[in-house]
Structure 1
Amino acid sequence: MRKLLLIITLLFSLLGYSQKKILQTKFITENITIDGKLDENVWKSVPVAKDFIMFEPDNGKPIAENKKTEIKVLYDNDAIYVAALMYDNEPNKILKEISQRDNFGASDIFGVFVNGYNDGQQDFRFIVSASDGQADCIGTDTNGEDYSWDAVWKSKAVITDFGWVVEMRIPYAALRFSGEKKQTWGLNFFREIKRDKQKYSWNFIDSKIGTFTQQTGVLEGIENIKTPTRLFLLPYSSFYVNANAQQKTTGTLKGGLDIKYGINDAFTLDAILIPDFGQTKYDDQILNLGPFEQQFNENRPFFTEGTDLFSKGNLLYSRRIGGRPSNYPTIASNEKIIDNPSSINLINALKVSGRTKNGLGIGILNAVTEKTYATIQNNETNEKRKELVEPLTNYNVLVLDQRFRKNSSVSFINTNVTRNGSFRDANVSALVWDLNTKKNTYNLSGNFKYSIINDTEDKKGTFTSLNFGETSGKYRYSLGTEIVSKNFDSNDLGINFETNYYAIYGNTNYRILNPTKYFNTFIANFNMYTQFQKETGKIQGNNINVNINSNNKQNHYFGLGINANPIESYDYYESRTENRPLIFPKRMGGWFYFSSNYNNKFAIDFNPSFAILSEPGRNSYGFLLGPRYRFNDKFALNYSFNFFRQNNNKGYIDSINDDLNSATPNTIIFANRNVITYSNTLTGKYSINSKMTFNLSLRQYWSFAENKNFLSLEQNGRLKDYTNFTENRNSSFYSWNADLSYSWWFAPGSEVSILYRNNAANFQREIDKDFGRNVTTLLTNDQLKHVFSISIRYFIDYNAVKNKF
């Protein structure tokens, strides 16, 4: 009888979890002070959201009574207000590491997830830590959480004798919703108890279903709100001091303005006038020996904030805007290049984005870069001339994204690059679909892309992909294919390396949905991928991969994997010559990683890997070792050492045209070489409080390729000894970057930032294997650059100014 009652109780509990919870809110006219005290009487008259349910690790388990969580929501014409009480029977054990914005470290957190359209597609997430820190992001099931998006809102967290309390004010300007008189929003609340590594939500998130944003509750009661004009100005001023041994110290004063304007409740205009990206994070440059360019992360705030719409179709690589010139200067035999800019100045940029009440998302991004010249000098007369390497250029992106049935979408994307004059123009369009069954058990996704290049020779190309998969339950799988034509080219505003192929791939995996005796999480994957050269049908790539990722009851993470290229393949890119493939040998490799619980003061990451190829003596191995130590809630240091070695690596060196009447090189020269890479990084932070933080970031990198002998590429794709090449083509690249910064958020949305940076880089053919001398030389040579900068950015709300005057 007791078992029967227990089963009935569980069934009713699960039935309740599967239904959307509803929370009623209430309109207020009195002021609420965001101080974490909750002493306003109006808080006592509003319904409570409670009965949280575990998301991870024991999915579906109700929260313990001594950890219960209670939430209330109020609203007025300007904002919604949230009060959260997080009970904890051991408040002295609440983790509360202080970190900079959007980075929590070891701290309990509480979050409010709002979807103003209640369409299950996108959340605006506002998160507060027990140390009174803030984070905000845009969350989607497709792209995860985008913390580059920043809003201006208020919060206060206070540790109490029964747990901790959060009070929040989220203005409508930070949200997107329709203009309906009666609002119905998707809503969820999230709590993580860090010391237990347990995550809870108000509305149950069933891990058997491969979606997060579609399992929210509902907020009702917001009616007839009179939202204010959304106009925000962010003026800034920056001062830079630059110095190095080769030139005198110079000072530069800059100023500019960012504008954010709410066209209506759903659409926002963002614009930058006289942009300044001088304090963005440095790029982690490497010794790039491959046929493709190195891809860098985007660190400029304008191009990272709220760009979910613009990532549709993977056609935008925003580093193209203001990147290297698209043309290289032509010089005579008696000339030399004395100045060729590595980047192009951005004149201005704007973006408009939002979504209608019917689920149509519209995004427009436009940017203009200035004319850029290289300086060339005549070796005989010393006369200098200018050559245009990048004309005035307009970059434009248009996105139309229609959502329907709360879990599916179809998108149209167009990117266009127009260069003034007779320079190359480019246009790429794409149709992208992401379709899910009503219960989110199966997914059909894919795209069709079409590129047009207008140059000396016009080219048109296509890229098509289709993927089907089961997305729920313990066992899941997916199958897919893609076809790319020879002339597909999205590289003027996107990034795409390989073309002229078709591929088939598949995946199957198993996961536990609830903890077992030994594991909190456990996922095993089996992947297969095969790529064929489109014209010849030869195998261009093949891989089989098996991997396991898990964390145990002590919340240590570990995983391992084995990957293999079981047959030889044809590499059509390494030779840098059309229709001259290199046969790549069979390969077997593996890796392992261990990451101890970051809640502990001392934690460590360890990740060794190896690979063995089917050529005598050709192999690779390496490891990453990363200890970290948290001295207290304010001070922490993380160190990482990375070593990687490739023995008897085969790589392109040069091409020789023996026949002067032929445009195709006759002899393609490769090197048999050892490639060794070392890198050391150190990051640290000291947080005075949740608004003031000192940050340290150091990176030392050294990689060299030492050639042992030279080889020539035969027509059949094999390599043979080549003794007629005697040039020194060794490569050694080393770099140093150091940033020490101070950040103070002195008012909502307003920041003072002070940065000292020094950096240097050097490439040479001679290899000095004295590690210490290499580092010392780099830090003492004439290439070392020093930059000191102060930047002040102030947030102005038009409504606040209007009310004052």
Structure 2
Amino acid sequence: MKNSLLLCFLFISLFGYSQKKILQTKFISEKIEIDGKLDETIWQSAPIASDFVMLTPDNGKKIPENKRTEIRVLYDNDAVYIGALLYDESPDKILKEITQRDNFGTSDLFGVFINGFNDGQQDFQFFVNAADGQADCITTDSNGEDYSWDAVWKSKAVITDKGWVVEMRIPYAALRFSAEDKQTWGLNFFREIRRDRQKYTWNFIDTKLGTFTQQTGILEGIENIKPPTRLFLLPYSSFYINASDKQKTKGTLKGGLDLKYGINDAFTLDMILVPDFGQTKYDDKVLVLGPFEQQFNENRPFFTEGTDLFSKGNLVYSRRIGGNPSIYPEINNDEEIIDNPASVNLINALKISGRTKEGLGVGILNAVTEKTKATIRNNNTQEVRNEVVEPLTNYNVLVLDQRFRKNSSITFVNTNVTRNGSYRDGNVSALVWDLNTKKNTYSLTGDFKYSFVNDIENKKGVNSQLNFSETSGKFRYGIGADITTKDFDNNDLGINFETNYYSLYGNASYRILNSTKHFNSFSARFDTYSQFHKESGKIQSGNLNFQINANDKKNRSLSIGIDANPVETYDYYESQQANKYVILPAKIGGFIYISTNYNNRFAIDFNPSYAIFNESGRTTYGFDFGPRYRFNDKLSINYNFSFFRRNNNKGRIDSIDDDLNTNTPNTVIFANRNVITYANTFSGKYALNSQMSFNISLRHYWSYAENKNTLALQENGRFTDFTGYTTNKNSSFYSWNADLSYSWWFAPGSQVSILYRNNAGAFERNINKDFRNNVTNLLTNDALNHTFSISVRYFIDYNQVKNKF
């Protein structure tokens, strides 16, 4: 009888959780002051959303009564209002670190998730932390959370003797919804109690399912509102002072305009006219010893915001736009390059993106970069000439993404790069699919890509992959395969390192869905990957990986991993010559990652690793060590030291033409070398309040490769000693970056930024192993550049201007 009652209770509980909660809202005509007090009488008559349930770690557990959460929603002709009472029996224990926008910090958190079309496809999420900071993002199941998206809205958080209160005003211009007279929106609320690392939602989200956006509740009662004219202008003005020992101090005044316009209720036009990216975060450059370029993060806001559609198929590497010139100038023996621009100026860019109620997403991105020349001087005649290193170039991306059944999509993507004149052009088309069962238990994903390059010799290539996986429950698995032909090339607007191969891979994983006696979360995963050269069938990669990730009851994180390549593999890339390969030895290695509780004032991250190869004396080892300290809610600092060493590493350094009557290099020279890397990073912030903060970011990097002896690559992929090579091919690269900034959000969407930056970098063949002198020389040499800049951006909403006049 007891078992029957228990089964009945579980059935009723699960049935209740599976239902979407419904909240009614009310129209208001009186003004609401966003002050975190909820003292307007209309709040008391609004229906309440309560009975929150835990998301993690005990999925489905009811929120305790002493931490109950009550939410009310109101609306008028311009905005929706949210009032939240977040009870806490210990208000003095509420964590409330002050941080910059989109950084939660060590703080309690409240969020509201809105889907104006109620189609389970995309949520607009708005967060407020207990320190009165804001964050917002767009969330989809396929791409997760995109915090580069920023909206303009108002909020206020206040800590009381009963907990804390949040009041929010979200204008309709920050949302997307249809023009129907009676609205039905998808809605959910979120609360994190940081000191307990517990997360709750109003409508139950079952973590066994592979979806988040489809498990929202319902908001009803909004009627007779119209989507507003979404026209936003963001004019800006910047002033720069640049100085270094190599050039005179120079001041530059810049100005421009960003524009956002809602074409209709679904689509938005974004434009930048006369762009200014002078205050963008610096790149963490490293010593590149292999055949592949370094891939950089995109830090320019225009290219990071709302990139959900443009990330489909992984065909767009936006750093190509306005990046390094695509052509290296040709010079004669008596000439030298005296000026070769490191980047190409962006003239303008626009993008159109959005999704219809029927689920059709459309994305268009277009950018134009200017003609760029290098300056070359003849050392005999002193004559100077210019050579084009990048012609006037147009970059274009088109995405058509049809979603159906709320959780599946089929996408067409085309990228096109057209360079003015007789220069290389590139075009890539792709069909991408993401198919999920109705209950989100299994998925079939993949793509087919076709590239065409119009150059001296036209090239056509294909890349395709197919993956099947189980996406729900404690035990999950996946299998897949992909193939890439020799001439596949998407590097005009994308980035791709390897071609001419096929691969097979699979994975299996286990995770707990609720906390246990010892762990809040625990997962284990096994991956296997095998890659084969397409023409010869030789194995290029054979990898086995096992990893455990856990978070204990004291909120300490632990990861342990073992990585093995149990057989010799054939590397067709390192030689940088067609059909020549290097045999790589088998290896096995592992790592440990330990992170203490960030809720504490003092916390440490520690990550040692070690690997040994099946080759005498060849090993790799290193560690990352990162202490952090939070002095108070305003002041905190983070430091990280990284060290990594590769012993008896083998890498290409040159090639020699054995036959002077040909221009084809026949002998590829490798070096047996030790590679040592140090990196120091320091960051800190002092926040006066949630709108005003000082920040500092420092990075020193040094990596060098010291060649012990030279080797010649044989046809069988192995090496012989090569004693006749005497050229110094050691490599030493060191760099320094420092940013000191002040940021003030003086009005919604409007910001003043003041930045002082200095940086330096150098590449040398002679290695100075005195670490202290290395740093001192870097900071005192004539390569140190100084920049001081002030930027003012002001947000103008057409609707507010219209109402005033």
**TM-score relative to the length of structure 2:** 0.99
Does residue 111 (structure 1) correspond to residue 106 (structure 2)? The answer is no
2:654 — aligned with what?
Answer: 654
Cα-to-partner distance string for 1:411-433 (whole Å, 9 max, x where unaligned): 11110000001011111011111
Q: Percent identity?
A: 74
Corresponding letter in the other structure for 1:292: F
Spell out the pairing of 1:163-202 with structure 2 (5 A cutoff). Answer: 163-202=163-202
Corresponding letter in the other structure for 2:216: T
Q: Is the 8 Å Cα contact of residues 651 and 670 (structure 2) preserved in structure 1? A: yes
Q: Is the 8 Å Cα contact of residues 291 and 573 (structure 1) preserved in structure 2? A: yes
1:522 — aligned with what?
Answer: 522
2:787 — aligned with what?
Answer: 787
Cα-to-partner distance string for 1:493-532 (whole Å, 9 max, x where unaligned): 0001101100000000011111111111110001000000
Corresponding letter in the other structure for 2:9: T
Q: Distance in 1 between matches of 2:661 and 2:473?
A: 63
Name the SS of the counterpart of 1:92 in structure 2: helix
Q: Distance in 2 between matches of 1:155 and 1:556?
A: 32
Spell out the pairing of 1:715-794 with structure 2 (5 A cutoff). Answer: 715-794=715-794
Name the SS of the counterpart of 1:121 in structure 2: coil
Does residue 239 (structure 1) correspond to residue 245 (structure 2)? The answer is no
Does residue 803 (structure 1) correspond to residue 803 (structure 2)? The answer is yes
Spell out the pairing of 1:21-170 with structure 2 (5 A cutoff). Answer: 21-170=21-170
Q: Distance in 2 between matches of 1:724 and 1:172?
A: 73
1:288 — aligned with what?
Answer: 288
Cα-to-partner distance string for 1:640-662 (whole Å, 9 max, x where unaligned): 00000000000000011122444
Does residue 634 (structure 1) correspond to residue 634 (structure 2)? The answer is yes
Cα-to-partner distance string for 1:74-105 (whole Å, 9 max, x where unaligned): 12222111111101011110000000101121
Q: Is the 8 Å Cα contact of residues 671 and 710 (structure 1) preserved in structure 2? A: yes
Cα-to-partner distance string for 1:733-774 (whole Å, 9 max, x where unaligned): 000000000000000000000000000001100001000000
Q: Distance in 1 between matches of 2:5 and 2:90?
A: 33
Q: Distance in 1 between matches of 2:249 and 2:61?
A: 63
Q: Distance in 1 between matches of 2:172 and 2:414?
A: 30
Corresponding letter in the other structure for 1:657: D
1:607 — aligned with what?
Answer: 607
Q: Is the 8 Å Cα contact of residues 178 and 356 (structure 1) preserved in structure 2? A: no
Q: CA deviation at 1:58?
A: 0.6
Q: Distance in 2 between matches of 1:88 and 1:10?
A: 29
Spell out the pairing of 1:684-723 with structure 2 (5 A cutoff). Answer: 684-723=684-723
Name the SS of the counterpart of 1:514 in structure 2: coil
Q: CA deviation at 1:454?
A: 0.5
2:229 — aligned with what?
Answer: 229
Corresponding letter in the other structure for 2:739: D
1:677 — aligned with what?
Answer: 677
Spell out the pairing of 1:400-415 with structure 2 (5 A cutoff). Answer: 400-415=400-415
2:342 — aligned with what?
Answer: 342
Cα-to-partner distance string for 1:349-374 (whole Å, 9 max, x where unaligned): 00111111101000101000000000
Q: Is the 8 Å Cα contact of residues 393 and 417 (structure 1) preserved in structure 2? A: yes
2:578 — aligned with what?
Answer: 578
Name the SS of the counterpart of 2:746 in structure 1: strand
Q: Distance in 2 between matches of 1:178 and 1:494?
A: 35
Q: Distance in 2 between matches of 1:490 and 1:119?
A: 34
Could you tell which deviates more after superposition, 299-308 or 134-143?
134-143
Unaligned runs of 5+ in 1: none
Corresponding letter in the other structure for 1:48: I
Cα-to-partner distance string for 1:388-430 (whole Å, 9 max, x where unaligned): 1111100001111111111111111110000001011111011
Q: CA deviation at 1:567?
A: 0.5
1:562 — aligned with what?
Answer: 562
Q: CA deviation at 1:664?
A: 3.4
Name the SS of the counterpart of 2:10 in structure 1: helix
Q: Is the 8 Å Cα contact of residues 179 and 226 (structure 2) preserved in structure 1? A: no
Could you tell which deviates more after superposition, 220-229 or 320-329?
220-229
Corresponding letter in the other structure for 2:506: G
1:249 — aligned with what?
Answer: 249
2:472 — aligned with what?
Answer: 472
Name the SS of the counterpart of 2:278 in structure 1: coil
Spell out the pairing of 1:165-564 with structure 2 (5 A cutoff). Answer: 165-564=165-564
Name the SS of the counterpart of 2:43 in structure 1: helix
Q: Is the 8 Å Cα contact of residues 153 and 170 (structure 2) preserved in structure 1? A: yes
Name the SS of the counterpart of 2:773 in structure 1: helix
Name the SS of the counterpart of 1:329 in structure 2: coil
Q: CA deviation at 1:222?
A: 1.9
Corresponding letter in the other structure for 1:518: H
Unaligned runs of 5+ in 2: none
Q: CA deviation at 1:4?
A: 5.1
Q: CA deviation at 1:178?
A: 2.4
Q: CA deviation at 1:175?
A: 1.4
Q: CA deviation at 1:131?
A: 0.4
Q: Distance in 1 between matches of 2:75 and 2:655?
A: 70
Cα-to-partner distance string for 1:669-694 (whole Å, 9 max, x where unaligned): 00000000001000100000000010
Q: Distance in 1 between matches of 2:595 and 2:30?
A: 50
Could you tell which deviates more after superposition, 741-750 or 178-187?
178-187
Q: Is the 8 Å Cα contact of residues 84 and 167 (structure 1) preserved in structure 2? A: yes
Corresponding letter in the other structure for 1:302: F
Count of matched residue positions in the alignment of Structure 1 and Structure 2: 805
Q: CA deviation at 1:3?
A: 6.3
Corresponding letter in the other structure for 1:58: D
Could you tell which deviates more after superposition, 653-662 or 211-220?
653-662
Q: Distance in 2 between matches of 1:727 and 1:180?
A: 75
Q: CA deviation at 1:663?
A: 4.7
Name the SS of the counterpart of 2:689 in structure 1: coil
Q: Distance in 2 between matches of 1:721 and 1:121?
A: 60
Q: CA deviation at 1:332?
A: 1.2
Q: CA deviation at 1:146?
A: 1.2
Cα-to-partner distance string for 1:451-503 (whole Å, 9 max, x where unaligned): 01001111111111000001111100000000111111110000011011000
Q: Distance in 2 between matches of 1:589 and 1:160?
A: 52
Could you tell which deviates more after superposition, 194-203 or 210-219?
210-219
Q: CA deviation at 1:33?
A: 1.2
Q: Distance in 2 between matches of 1:140 and 1:581?
A: 42
Q: Distance in 2 between matches of 1:196 and 1:480?
A: 39
Q: Distance in 2 between matches of 1:483 and 1:106?
A: 45
Name the SS of the counterpart of 1:688 in structure 2: strand
Name the SS of the counterpart of 1:757 in structure 2: strand
Corresponding letter in the other structure for 2:505: Y
Q: Is the 8 Å Cα contact of residues 178 and 227 (structure 2) preserved in structure 1? A: no
Corresponding letter in the other structure for 2:340: N
Q: Is the 8 Å Cα contact of residues 83 and 166 (structure 2) preserved in structure 1? A: yes
Q: CA deviation at 1:334?
A: 1.1
Please report the RMSD computed on the Cα atoms of aligned residues, expressed in angstroms: 1.0
Spell out the pairing of 1:588-607 with structure 2 (5 A cutoff). Answer: 588-607=588-607
Q: Is the 8 Å Cα contact of residues 91 and 159 (structure 1) preserved in structure 2? A: yes
Corresponding letter in the other structure for 2:491: N
Corresponding letter in the other structure for 1:682: F
Q: Is the 8 Å Cα contact of residues 602 and 628 (structure 2) preserved in structure 1? A: yes
Q: Is the 8 Å Cα contact of residues 176 and 354 (structure 1) preserved in structure 2? A: no
Corresponding letter in the other structure for 2:148: S
Q: Distance in 1 between matches of 2:337 and 2:663?
A: 25
Corresponding letter in the other structure for 1:168: M
Q: Distance in 2 between matches of 1:178 and 1:390?
A: 44
